[in-house]
């Protein structure tokens, strides 16, 4: 029986494990194993909502082990340590608890086909002090850390222990922009839970971008529209501002200005994890991504695929596939087809990225975006309820891939009920 190992349970990895579990695992045509260092899955674009407290991942997160049982694959808890291409083995590092006690020893897993879907982490560009003084929203644990610190700051503010709360966010991509708006929503919500004295003026959010505009990957008209909305909320948007240092009091810019901040979030760029750099002799990019062919097989080993943020895949017309959830979703579908084709001795298909548009949610205040690709001829800006519907639909597509249509509808209904019976802000 063929052994297929998928390393990384993000959007693309978990969808792939689910697809192959249905097609092969349930029919005993292959042994599917998903490896991840976390016990649960949460769609990464939602982490800013966990950080701000508007989403409780204790409810929305998916247990890998339970999902594996229901969808025909096996889950292994652990972190990839190495790949032995010659022996077709992966080494899984020992799993330790918070006290450093070894819970699971180092293990080795044999594979016939290996899929790398590890995702990405924040890129600090070796900026001084960033690792020590900034929070990265790469995982639920980091989002929880920010949320706890934020609640403590709001508590100090409400009890007049401090005059205001200053939060600096470096990087005006989707994460930075959406978190900026979500923070003001959090202040609105917490003020209704016994903290009547809290006002928007008590929160100072500074969004720092090194480039000439926020949301650099999007159309100028969308960037301008979002910039205007953020300023209405009270966000201080600084463009053409490069950060050279982070310290315990805030940020220092290239021009020598100081941006004071109680909390700092770094969302300025991404890279694949450092351990991927030249792992097992595989070809990697300058940001540690595994370079793949159009079939999404790595350039030096046809038995190893890569998808999502950890894959460097060129596009027709130049450039590379952007690190977006929709790209991981599309790559997952193609890798599943190509693995099935390989097992049936059929030719593989090439990957072609289709951009369905980009959408930015400014919490409950506004949603803007543009439809592109096969949905429209060229690009069309949309906003308001239509944009919000399309934005939510991107997440629903992910849920459908994991649960099917009927369960996704039921999940949507439960979410609607929870909005009524549960607090709108996670207060713990």
d(CA 246, CA 241): 14
The domain 123-266: what is its CATH number? 3.50.50.60
99-129: burial string, b at 16+ Cβ within 10 Å, e else? eeeeeeeeeebebbbbbbbbbbbbbbeebeb
C-beta of residue 26 within 8 angstroms of C-beta of residue 5: no
Instruction: CATH 3.50.50.60 in the chain: give the residue spans.
Output: 2-120+272-343, 123-266
Question: Quick one: pLDDT at residue 394?
Answer: 83
In this structure, is the dihedral angle defined by the CA atoms of residues 354, 357, 362 and 366, taken in order, positive or negative? negative
Residue 416 structure tokens: 């609607």
Cα distances from 425 to residues 57, 298, 415, in angstroms, run 12, 43, 14
Q: Which CATH superfamily is domain 2-120+272-343 in?
A: FAD/NAD(P)-binding domain (3.50.50.60)
C-beta of residue 10 within 8 angstroms of C-beta of residue 119: yes
Tell me the DSSP string of 231-252: HHHT-EEE-S--EEEEETTEEE
Question: Quick one: pLDDT at residue 382?
Answer: 55
Angle CA 137–384–359, to nearest 5: 35
pTM for this model (two decimals): 0.91
Which residues sit opposite 31 in a β-bridge?
3
d(CA 232, CA 269): 26
Residue 128 structure tokens: 């001084």
Residue 335 structure tokens: 């890798």
CB-side exposure of 384: number of CA atoms within 13 Å?
Answer: 1
Q: How many Cβ atoms sit within 10 Å of the Cβ of residue 422? A: 11
Cα distances from 122 to residues 180, 273, 409, in angstroms, run 18, 9, 33
Task: For the chain, report the end-to-end CA distance as a whole number of angstroms.
Answer: 47
CB < 8 Å & 24+ apart, contacts of 327-330: 327/353, 328/10, 328/11, 328/12, 328/15, 328/117, 329/11, 329/12, 329/15, 329/397, 329/398, 329/401, 330/354
d(CA 406, CA 43): 19
Residues with Cβ within 8 Å of residue 319, at least 6 apart in sequence:
none
d(CA 135, CA 354): 32
Angle CA 225–53–422, to nearest 5: 115
Question: Quick one: pLDDT at residue 15?
Answer: 97
Which residues sit opposite 370 in a β-bridge?
358, 381
Closest by CA to 186, choosing from 129, 231, 226, 146, is 146
Question: Quick one: pLDDT at residue 373?
Answer: 44
Tens-of-pLDDT digits for all 428 residues of the chain? Answer: 899 999 999 999 999 999 999 999 999 999 999 999 999 999 999 999 999 988 888 888 999 999 999 999 999 999 999 999 999 999 999 988 888 888 889 999 999 999 999 999 999 999 999 999 999 999 999 999 999 999 998 888 877 777 889 999 999 999 999 999 999 988 888 877 777 677 778 899 999 999 999 999 888 888 998 999 999 999 999 999 999 999 999 999 999 999 999 999 999 999 999 999 989 999 999 999 999 999 999 999 999 999 999 999 999 878 899 998 899 999 999 999 999 999 999 999 999 998 877 777 787 666 666 655 433 344 555 555 566 666 778 889 999 999 999 999 999 999 889 878 877 777 77
Which residues sit opposite 204 in a β-bridge?
166
Residue 402 structure tokens: 């994991």
Question: Quick one: pLDDT at residue 57?
Answer: 85
d(CA 77, CA 69): 14
Residue 241 structure tokens: 């501002």
């Amino acid at each position: 029986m063929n052994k297929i190992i998928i390393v990384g349970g993000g959007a693309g990895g978990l969808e792939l494990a689910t697809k192959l579990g249905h097609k092969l695992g349930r029919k005993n045509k292959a042994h599917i194993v998903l490896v991840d260092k976390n016990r649960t899955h949460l769609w990464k674009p939602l982490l800013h909502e966990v950080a701000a407290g508007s989403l409780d991942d204790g409810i929305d997160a998916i247990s890998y082990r339970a999902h594996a049982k229901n969808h025909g694959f096996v889950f292994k808890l652990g972190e990839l340590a190495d790949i032995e291409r010659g022996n077709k083995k992966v080494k899984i590092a020992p799993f330790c608890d918070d006290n450093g006690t070894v819970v699971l020893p180092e293990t080795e897993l044999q594979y016939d086909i290996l899929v790398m879907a590890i995702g990405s982490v924040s890129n600090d560009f070796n900026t001084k002090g960033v690792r020590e003084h900034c929070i990265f929203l790469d995982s639920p644990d980091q989002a929880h850390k920010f949320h706890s610190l934020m609640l403590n700051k709001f508590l100090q503010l409400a009890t007049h222990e401090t005059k205001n709360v200053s939060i600096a966010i470096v990087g005006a991509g989707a994460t930075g922009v959406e978190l900026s708006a979500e923070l003001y929503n959090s202040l609105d919500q917490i003020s209704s839970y016994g903290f009547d004295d809290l006002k928007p003026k008590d929160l100072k959010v500074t969004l720092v971008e090194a480039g000439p505009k926020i949301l650099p990957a999007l159309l100028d008209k969308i960037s301008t529209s979002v910039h205007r909305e953020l300023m209405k909320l009270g966000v201080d948007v600084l463009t053409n501002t490069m950060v050279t240092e982070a310290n315990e009091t805030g940020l220092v810019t290239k021009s020598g200005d100081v941006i004071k901040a109680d909390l700092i979030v770094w969302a300025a760029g991404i890279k694949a994890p450092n351990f991927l750099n030249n792992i097992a002799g595989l070809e990697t990019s300058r940001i540690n991504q595994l370079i793949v062919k159009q079939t999404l097989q790595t350039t030096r080993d046809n038995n190893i695929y890569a998808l999502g943020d950890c894959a460097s895949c060129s596009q027709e017309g130049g450039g590379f596939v952007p690190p977006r959830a929709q790209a991981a979703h599309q790559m997952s579908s193609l890798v599943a087809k190509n693995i099935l084709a390989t097992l049936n001795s059929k030719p593989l298909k090439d990957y072609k990225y289709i951009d369905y548009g980009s959408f930015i949610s400014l919490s409950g205040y506004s949603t803007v975006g543009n439809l592109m690709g096969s949905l429209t001829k060229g690009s069309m800006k949309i906003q308001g309820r239509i944009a919000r519907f399309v934005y939510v639909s991107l997440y629903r597509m992910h849920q459908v891939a994991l649960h099917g249509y009927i369960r996704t509808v039921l999940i949507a209904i439960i979410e609607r009920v929870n909005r009524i019976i549960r607090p709108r802000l996670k207060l713990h």
